[in-house]
Structure 1
Amino acid sequence: MTTMLRTAPVVVTADLVEATVPAPESLRPWFTELGRIPTMRDLADSFAHIPQAATTIVLRTQESGPREALVIGPQTRALYSHPNKPASCLRLRLAPGAARPLLGVPAALLTDRVIRLADLPGVAAGLADELIELSADEIFQFLESALPQRISEDATRRAQREVLRSAITALSAEPNVRSMRALAADLAVSERQLRNLFTAGIGVSPKHFARIDRLRRTLAQVRTTLSTQLPTSTGDYEPTTTLARLAADNGYFDQSHMTADFRTLMGVPPSSFLRGAVPAPSPCRPLNRL
């Protein structure tokens, strides 16, 4: 059966409301970007956090409430929440391989967890109190002055980061074409070394990273496709692509493969997600301790 994309998505996701700024070159070994989510005052809808294969330092400010510096590890499944208080967030995304030098632990210990930044043993914990007092425009300048003298890395760690970057580039370009053995051979490492680098430096396996990356690209394509459609007189949208085409464009074997993967990661099939038929929202995740 051919399924057409007909309606604009009704689920609010963090990616839709976040404005991002790339990290300056001097901070690229440790951060990729700074995201800003404005204070959300319309709390009528649930809020979706789609899977993310990155560790993030979140500076959260509740309206008329406390400020918090949290670390959210890689998220392997979508979360649907219903915020009960207006809050804004600044989100510093860590570069691949930056968890241990910044936070003092491998990324795998943070996967699907939320931990106070100050509770971690790395150098970034000592910056928590200052970070939560800064505006978005001040954060990168502060980090450029504070981090270099606190972090020392050897050539081995820098080389491992370079392997991770190369692997991520390859997986994003061809998520379903090359085997892990071929990728490892191209990078002059063993499959076991490649898995270990991903587990410690990103928090998920290479295959799981590829699945999350492909899902995010698929959702981005859906948003782009639907944003260019004009509503008809009935308020519906003229279909311009099919789920089968969406699957083919993003490296899935076929539509059923995409639907199964989407359901596993998002909790519902793509057709349900696009209608807004998503799992019931849950409270915010509790804080964890190491």
Structure 2
Amino acid sequence: MEERVEVPADLRAWISGISVATAGDERTVLAEPDHATTLVLRVVPDHGSELVVEGPRTRARYHRSDPGPWCVRARIHTGRVRSLLGRPAHELVDRVVPLGEFPGGHEDPRRDELLREATALLAGGSVAAVARELHVSERHLRTLFLDGVGVSPKHFARIDRLRAVLAQDRPWAEVAAGTGFYDQAHLTGEFRRLMGVSPAAFRRGDLPAALPCHAKGPGA
């Protein structure tokens, strides 16, 4: 069970959302592709707690939710990772790292604002169009994204579109048409690459084998 809570006023410049999840009976939990970096406090009764940073996920993960643990998850605003943690976001992609390994960062308001504008514009335009709108080169835009988000602008847009797909419960052909895919076959291929299963299998609940949930992720 997951519940969203209000972000305290003094954290809103850094944190876009906070949720609290409590595990019940053992089941498969989906961690969908996500371009955000997240602070996670995981508490296991009688086994202590761990505070980690989850970097952007380029593919879905499926893990077992064993009874007992609960997690508080705080999503860092797009582009604020380096300012908050002191490391470029691309070093964290598909990784889970203990918070104590980060040196702490410093703010660069101009860069952070440019990145926020770029992520907003990508929702409705191409990478080339966004670069022209912001008067920067595509190469500079790519560097900005890798440093501040962790993935390229194109990969950011792919993940954003996939998350829009996951939020819908309509026939796949309608979903494809409404989320910018050429056709249903295009959606199916992209879904399989990022989610590890076809759209039809996902809706049936025919998911990949779930792994235990623990602090150390790929590359940690």
| Fold in common (TM above 0.5) | yes
- Per-residue CA distance 1:54-84 (angstroms, 9 max, x = gap): 1001011112221110111001110111134
Output the CA distance in 2 between the equivalents of 1:202 and 1:258. Answer: 24
- The secondary structure found in structure 2 opposite 1:189 is coil
Match in the other structure for 1:88: 70
Decide whether the 8 Å contact of 2:52 with 2:215 is kept in 1.
no
Structure with the greater alpha carbon radius of gyration: 1
Match in the other structure for 2:4: 20
> Is 1:246 aligned to residue 175 of structure 2?
yes
Decide whether the 8 Å contact of 2:24 with 2:65 is kept in 1.
no
- The secondary structure found in structure 1 opposite 2:56 is coil
Question: Where does the alignment leave 5 or more consecutive residues of structure 2 unmatched?
Answer: none
Output the CA distance in 1 between the equivalents of 2:42 and 2:199. Answer: 30
Match in the other structure for 1:189: 136
Matches within 5 A, 1:205-216: 205-216=152-163
CA gap of 1:62–1:286, structure 2 versus 1, over 3 A, is closer
1:29 to partner: Cα distance: 3.1
Counterpart amino acid of residue 170 in structure 1: L
Alignment identity in percent?
Answer: 44
Q: Return the match for 1:35 from 19, 40, 43.
A: 19
Structure 1 stretches of at least 4 aligned residues deviating more than 4 Å after TM superposition = none
Match in the other structure for 1:116: 98
- The secondary structure found in structure 2 opposite 1:221 is coil
Match in the other structure for 1:54: 36
Output the CA distance in 1 between the equivalents of 2:216 and 2:172. Answer: 38
Counterpart amino acid of residue 168 in structure 2: Q
Decide whether the 8 Å contact of 2:50 with 2:215 is kept in 1.
no
Counterpart amino acid of residue 160 in structure 1: R
- Per-residue CA distance 1:125-182 (angstroms, 9 max, x = gap): xxxxxxxxxxxxxxxxxxxxxxxxxxx53xxx2121112111211222x2xxx33111
Output the CA distance in 2 between the equivalents of 1:91 and 1:221. Answer: 23
**Greater share of strand residues, 1 or 2?**
2
Output the CA distance in 1 between the equivalents of 2:47 and 2:173. Answer: 47
Match in the other structure for 1:6: none
Match in the other structure for 1:171: 122
Aligned CA RMSD, in angstroms, stands at 1.9
1:282 to partner: Cα distance: 2.0
TM-score, normalization by structure 2: 0.92
Question: Where does the alignment leave 5 or more consecutive residues of structure 1 unmatched?
Answer: 1-16, 124-151, 223-240
